[in-house]
Amino acid sequence: MLAKAPRGTRDILPGEIEKWQYIESVFKKLCQNYDYNEIRTPIFEHTELFTRSVGEDTDIVGKEMYTFLDKGERSITLRPEGTASTVRAFLEHKLYTQAQPTKLFYYGPMFRYDRPQAGRYRQFHQFGVEAFGSDNPSLDAEVIMLAMVFFHSLQLDSLVLELNSVGCANCRPLYRKEIEKHLLKYKNDLCLDCRKRSETNPLRILDCKEDNCKNITREVPGIYEHLCNACNEHFSEVTRHLKYMDIAYKLNTKLVRGLDYYTKTAFEIVDPLLGSQNSLGGGGRYDNLVEVCGGNPTPAIGFAVGLERVLLALGNKKVDLDFREKEKIFVATIGDKAGLEGTKLVMELRKNDLKADKDYLDRSLKAQMKQANRIGARYVIILGDEEIEKNKIVLRDMQTGDQKEVSIQEIVKTIKQEIN
Ligand code: HAM
């Protein structure tokens, strides 16, 4: 039987990978303009890092982690997200001793053991940014802006930015009590997961997608009345900045996010056209996490975007990405000497930053022209022993059918001129 990729994972093949590379380059360029530097952390970490930071009562830690004992009997987990690893690296390498804020971005595979469906995979890819060392609301606005500019650069203009404040350690417990009071009479009507949540983290019930739980929480008052002065002021400054920068947002008082580390600002970017997995990205402040991980109190904020969901959204909208593949040049040869000269010429073209290929199967000239067509070559250079003797090789534009004779010395220059 032929082997298959594990459930919830996918191969990204040539033909599709170009889109990935394009989107990756858009994100990287944007981060550079915003002065965020790339960080690459390991794909696996000590399990404890995630239980401590993401939170033991979250779905991610409770149900979705790929955790195993390695040969040294250490509990290891494939990273389910990027924030915890970035915080660990920030502390381990004392990045806080450098000029603050520390602004980092990352890109790579994440792993969550969940039931696969459209837009939900067991191995998926996130772009993320994390900024440490400032609790200034203008940094919240910058991080949100970066996310929105990224989507706009991909022509994803109809996304909705949902915004909330989840308060802090001072005010959230009061809100939690309020929710507990409200849910008391409905406890047995909640879904099984929410019954557990009502013991461990009742705020998460607000985020439940089950219709019955949604109905029950509909009348729960928003958190705003319970925010302390500091959180209230911070949130109104964040919204003032967003308004000033013309970033539209929708308040969603039920937005609590699925990870426990958030404080104050929380946001999600949602595509109304996608089904149940409609969140393209999300993030928020996590002012206590650095301390929870053993560092000095350090405010921080970040977000992550799921690349597979971005591609789904682009597919739904049939957005034509403005990325140009490099034009291909095929070197076709007839004869022994020409074969050798052709190999050299292919190398020369590549050395000059051109994309070039040749025949490797001893094909006839006719078959080589067919091959050039199949691989989508824009130009074919035809080399025969006679042409080499006369120092006149043929350059054919496959799109227009035009042909001209060029000397070997001039060929690189001529093709470069043609391409531009
Ligand atoms: P998250 O909301 O868990 O946040 O994930 C961010 C994004 O990753 C989601 O909006 C979604 O696009 C994508 N994603 C999550 N799970 C899957 C999956 N199973 N399959 C496909 N895509 C998925 C975080 O991970 C936080 N670390 C974000 C953050 C950074 N907060 C502060 N800094």
Mean pLDDT by 10 residues, the chain (420 residues): 96 92 95 97 98 93 96 98 98 97 98 96 98 97 97 94 96 91 85 88 86 87 90 98 97 90 97 89 98 98 97 84 83 94 95 95 96 96 92 95 95 92
pLDDT at 208: 86
Residues 253 and 160 in one domain: yes
SS (H, E, C) 179-232: HHHHHHHHHHHCCHHHHHHHHHCHHHHHHCCCHHHHHHHCCCCCCHHHCCHHHH
Indicate the pTM of the whole model: 0.91
120 in a structural domain: yes
pLDDT at 318: 73
25 in a structural domain: yes
pLDDT at 254: 86
Asked whether 159 lines ligand 1 (CB < 6 A), one says no
- Which of 317, 352, 367 delimits the end of a domain? 317
pLDDT at 322: 66
Provide the residue range defining the domain that includes 386: 328-419
Q: How far is the CA of 258 from the centre of ligand 1 (A)?
A: 9
111 in a structural domain: yes
Residues 295 and 350 in one domain: no
310 in a structural domain: yes
**C-beta of residue 128 within 8 angstroms of C-beta of residue 84:** no
77 in a structural domain: yes
Ligand 1 atom 8, closest CA: 306
Look at residue 58 and give its three-state secondary structure. coil
Overall domain count for the chain:
2
Q: How far is the CA of 339 from the centre of ligand 1 (A)?
A: 52
Residues 343 and 298 in one domain: no
Asked whether 55 lines ligand 1 (CB < 6 A), one says no
Residues 166 and 244 in one domain: yes
**C-beta of residue 77 within 8 angstroms of C-beta of residue 45:** yes
Residues 342 and 407 in one domain: yes
Distance (Å) of CA 413 to CA 93, 330, 348: 48, 16, 11
Q: How far is the CA of 34 from the centre of ligand 1 (A)?
A: 21
Q: How far is the CA of 257 from the centre of ligand 1 (A)?
A: 10
Ligand 1 atom 18, closest CA: 120
Residues 129 and 161 in one domain: yes
Asked whether 202 lines ligand 1 (CB < 6 A), one says no
180 in a structural domain: no
Per the prediction, the chain carries an average pLDDT of: 94
Residues 255 and 357 in one domain: no
Residues 25 and 136 in one domain: yes
- Which of 267, 297, 317 delimits the end of a domain? 317
Q: Are strands 279-285 and 300-306 parallel, antiparallel or unpaired?
A: antiparallel
pLDDT at 230: 97
CATH of the domain at 378: 3.40.50.800
- Which of 284, 317, 350 delimits the end of a domain? 317
6 in a structural domain: no
Residues 92 and 128 in one domain: yes
Return the closest-CA partner of residue 408 out of 392, 389, 385, 384: 392
- Return d(Cα 238, Cα 256) in angstroms, integer: 17
Asked whether 124 lines ligand 1 (CB < 6 A), one says yes
Residues 306 and 342 in one domain: no
